[in-house]
């Protein structure tokens, strides 16, 4: 490979990354922003943007793909199968919150109508379902509560956490703590709660 060709490829990768970085920032603040505005934020011309993404749909698909890839890596790094489930959820939240803040345009953009994305997202989040099952099996979550409800509640809490953290009201660590308290103290096993109740009586 010639040096000029290698340099062109490096430039292409850098420009694509700059466009995606600009897009998630601009669209999070202004969902109706034009591709020209995104190109301007990236410090590139519109022609360069169109060489990478032929239209808004292609750019949106690239954003969603990157978000899923990063979420999958974050979940793997969080080692959801290790330690008490509550600690694992805390690690997951700390790993996913910064990603949610970066890609909040997806969370707020009503992508649930995109069946392909929803299916891919469910696949990426599958480790969370196993984590919920482990929490129930270990009496960290109430076995009397339908796991389907818990599986729906956890992503909803993550979205709420992203909104709070993005607003600057709470830092990421505090937000993660509150999410875990909400999930495990709200839906915690009655078996674990019983000793505390007896102590208070």
Per-residue model confidence (pLDDT) at position 187: 81
Domain's final residue, options 28, 54, 80: 54
- Residue 90 shares a structural domain with residue 187: yes
- Residue 7 shares a structural domain with residue 83: no
Q: Which CATH number is 25's domain given? A: 1.10.10
Structural domain of 27: 1-54
- Residue 49 shares a structural domain with residue 66: no
- Residue 8 shares a structural domain with residue 48: yes
pTM attached to this predicted model: 0.81
- Residue 30 shares a structural domain with residue 80: no
Per-residue model confidence (pLDDT) at position 181: 93
Per-residue model confidence (pLDDT) at position 198: 39
Per-residue model confidence (pLDDT) at position 188: 77
- Residue 34 shares a structural domain with residue 68: no
Domain's final residue, options 15, 36, 54: 54
List of the chain residues with pLDDT < 70:
1-8, 109-113, 189-201
Per-residue model confidence (pLDDT) at position 189: 67
The number of distinct structural domains making up the chain is 2
Per-residue model confidence (pLDDT) at position 86: 93
- Residue 66 shares a structural domain with residue 140: yes
Q: Which CATH number is 77's domain given? A: 1.10.357.10
Per-residue pLDDT reduced to its tens digit, 37-70: 999 999 999 999 999 999 999 999 999 999 999 9
Residue 101 CA to residue 105 CA, distance in Å, equals: 9
């Amino acid at each position: 490979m010639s040096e000029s060709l290698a340099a062109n490829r490096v430039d292409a990768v850098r420009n694509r990354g700059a466009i995606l970085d600009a897009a998630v920032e601009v669209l999070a603040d202004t969902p109706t922003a034009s591709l020209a505005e995104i190109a301007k934020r990236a410090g590139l011309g519109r022609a360069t943007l169109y060489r990478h993404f032929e239209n808004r749909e292609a750019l949106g698909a690239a954003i969603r793909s990157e978000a899923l890839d990063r979420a999958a890596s974050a979940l793997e790094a969080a080692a959801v199968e290790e330690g008490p489930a509550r600690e694992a959820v805390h690690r997951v939240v700390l790993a996913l919150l910064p990603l949610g803040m970066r890609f909040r345009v997806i969370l707020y953009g009503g992508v649930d109508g995109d069946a392909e994305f929803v299916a891919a997202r469910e696949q990426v989040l599958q480790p969370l379902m196993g984590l919920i099952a482990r929490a129930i099996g270990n009496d960290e979550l109430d076995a009397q509560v339908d796991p389907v409800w818990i599986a729906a509640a956890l992503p909803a809490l993550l979205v709420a956490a992203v909104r709070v953290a993005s607003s600057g009201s709470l830092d990421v660590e505090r937000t993660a703590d509150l999410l875990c308290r909400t999930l495990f103290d709200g839906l915690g096993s009655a078996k674990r709660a019983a000793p505390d109740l007896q102590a208070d009586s």
